[in-house]
Amino acid sequence: MPSPKPPPASPDHTELQFYEALQQGDLDRLMSLWADDEEIVCVHPGGQRLVGSEAIRAAFDAMFSQGAVPVYPEQVRRVQTLDSAVHSVLERVQTLGPDGEPHTGWALATNVYVKTPLGWRMVCHHASPSVTRELAEVTEQPVLLH
């Protein structure tokens, strides 16, 4: 008898599955990655806060009724503790412009995962519109002394 599929072994693995589920419009797989907690939160760029799995599921269901979401994570910044991980992700979104030509949009997402007996699960996805890739990040610049 095959053994059951092991739970996700790392926050990165859960995140990979999250974006694959978006790209494939796979609602059940997407929802299986969230923690079983009444206070899980999802904010899409529209500016509404969805709280709890029922509200989050309904919003992704409506989104997928328009098709899968071609969104790809880039430039991940990570802070990790023993039982949680905070990822800041630059999301590249491939859409069609009004002229029917391919268009690349950008969003910034904060994804938070917690370690549970079932593996690393998502407790927060907060995405908001960003600017172009080149302008999306400001980091510390080393000061050149001369």
Which distant-in-sequence residues (6+ apart) come within 8 Å of 109 by Cβ?
73, 87, 88, 89, 91, 125, 126, 127, 128
Contact between residue 115 and residue 9 where contact means Cβ atoms under 8 Å apart: no
Amino acid at 49: R
Whole-angstrom distance, CA of residue 113 vs CA of residue 127: 15
Shortest Å distance, C-beta 53 to a second copy: 8
Q: How far is the CB of 77 from a second copy (least distance, A)?
A: 5
Residue 54 is a binding residue for a second copy (CB under 8 A): yes
**Residue reference for tokens 């206070």:** 39
Q: Which of 45, 70, 105, 119 binds a second copy (CB under 8 A)?
A: 45
Shortest distance, CB of residue 3 to a second copy, whole angstroms? 28
Q: Which of 20, 103, 104, 129 binds a second copy (CB under 8 A)?
A: 129
Greatest Cα-to-Cα distance within the chain, rounded to the nearest angstrom = 69
121: phi then psi, degrees, rounded to nearest 5: -120, 150
The verdict on 71 binding a second copy (CB under 8 A) reads: no
Structure tokens given for 9: 């072994």
Candidate residues 9, 24, 49, 118; the one interacting with a second copy per rule CB under 8 A: 49
Query: What is the C-alpha separation between 130 and 67, in angstroms, rounded?
Result: 22
Nearer of residues 77 and 103 to a second copy, judged by Cβ: 77
Decide whether 45 or 119 has the Cβ nearer to a second copy.
Answer: 45
- Contact residues toward a second copy (CB under 8 A) are 35, 37, 39-41, 43, 45, 47-55, 59, 77-79, 81-84, 86, 88, 90, 108, 110, 112, 114-115, 123-124, 126, 128-131, 135-141
